[in-house]
């Protein structure tokens, strides 16, 4: 009450209502013996984290937390077929939302869920399987060339790298789906030697967008490296961003 707490005859009563960051609420003023009801709408705010989640190719359980005042209600839903709610689809106050992501057998993919009105992006690395033929090749001392066939699902990205300087990948150092990689072996005048080409090992995958306007961000996934250390580059509007990955 700011004015008019008491009076005689006609008059007015002035009052103020404090702000709220919680659920809607109701209060009562009694004026000249009559109740006067004041209803204040909700002033809830929500903090959701994380807003992006890295999902392993094998899928699994994921959790997103919500911070809100007691009484502030919210809902959660998935907009992606391979992500499902694993618990309640609504809550009140602070809480946790659980999701279950399916395993992937294909290319990297991105999905979204909505929690308390905010979009959470789920980025899953590719779960592709690969096969190569042949798996080995004998090369004479004067050197030679060879071709390896790579079998992979549509959208499954791969690279081909050498672990020694006398074997060079001359073609097909990267690709998507089925393809071939060509290599050459330098001549030797020394003892027998063995080198390795690592085929169908995916490196860096950009998901899901490759362009934009104004401020933004680039989401990428660096997948497992079964071979020697390697280096990759992401070029954004002409500027190079280098990623160094250790070997197994």
DSSP, residue by residue, 52-113: EEEE-TT-EEEEEEEE--TT-EEEEEE-STTEEE-S-SEEESSEEEEEEEPP-SSS-EEEEE
Give the tens place of pLDDT for each residue, 68-78.
Answer: 988 889 999 99
The pLDDT of residue 176: 86
State the Cα–Cα distance between residues 156 and 82, nearest whole angstrom: 18
Position 233 pLDDT exceeds 90: no
To the question of pTM greater than 0.75 for the whole model, the response is: no
**Domain containing residue 182: CATH number:** 2.60.40.10
Q: Which carries the bigger pLDDT value, residue 49 or residue 23?
A: 49
Give the tens place of pLDDT for each residue, 121-178.
Answer: 998 877 788 889 999 999 999 999 999 999 988 878 788 888 899 999 999 988 888 9
pLDDT cut 90: percent of the chain above it: 43
Of 91, 124, 157, the residue at which a domain comes to its end is 124
State the Cα–Cα distance between residues 204 and 221, nearest whole angstrom: 6
The pLDDT of residue 153: 82
Parallel/antiparallel/unpaired status of strands 109-115 and 73-78 = antiparallel
36 with 63, same domain?
no
Position 227 pLDDT exceeds 70: no
> Residues 13, 32: contact at Cβ < 8 Å?
no
51 with 109, same domain?
yes
Position 44 pLDDT exceeds 90: no
Range of the domain at 67: 47-124
Only one residue has tokens 């009562």, namely: 28
Position 189 pLDDT exceeds 60: yes
Predicted confidence band at 93 (pLDDT cuts at 50, 70, 90)?
Answer: very high
pLDDT cut 70: percent of the chain above it: 94
55 with 120, same domain?
yes
119 with 138, same domain?
no
For the chain, what is the domain count? 4
182 with 115, same domain?
no
């Amino acid at each position: 009450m700011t004015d008019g707490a008491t009076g005689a005859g006609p008059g007015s009563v002035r009052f103020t209502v404090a702000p709220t960051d919680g659920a809607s609420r109701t209060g009562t003023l009694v004026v000249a013996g009559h109740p006067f009801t004041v209803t204040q709408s909700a002033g809830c705010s929500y903090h959701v984290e994380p807003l992006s989640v890295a999902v392993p190719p094998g899928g699994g359980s994921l959790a997103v937390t919500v911070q809100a005042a007691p009484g502030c209600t919210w809902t959660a839903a998935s907009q992606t077929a391979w992500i499902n709610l694993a618990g309640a689809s609504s809550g009140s106050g602070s809480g946790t939302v659980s999701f279950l992501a399916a395993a992937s057998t294909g290319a990297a993919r991105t999905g979204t869920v909505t929690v308390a009105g905010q979009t959470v992006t789920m980025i899953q690395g590719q779960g592709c399987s690969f096969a190569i033929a042949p798996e080995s090749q004998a090369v004479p001392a004067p050197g030679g060339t060879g071709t390896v066939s790579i079998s992979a699902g549509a959208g499954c990205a791969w690279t081909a790298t050498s672990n020694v300087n006398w074997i060079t990948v001359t073609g097909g150092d990267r690709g998507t789906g089925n393809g071939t990689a060509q290599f050459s072996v330098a001549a030797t005048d020394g003892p027998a030697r063995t080198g390795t080409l690592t085929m169908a090992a995916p490196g860096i995958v950009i998901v899901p967008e490759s362009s934009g306007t104004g401020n933004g961000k680039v989401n990428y996934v660096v997948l497992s490296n079964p071979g020697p250390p390697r280096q990759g580059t992401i070029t954004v509007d002409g500027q190079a961003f280098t990623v160094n990955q250790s070997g197994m």
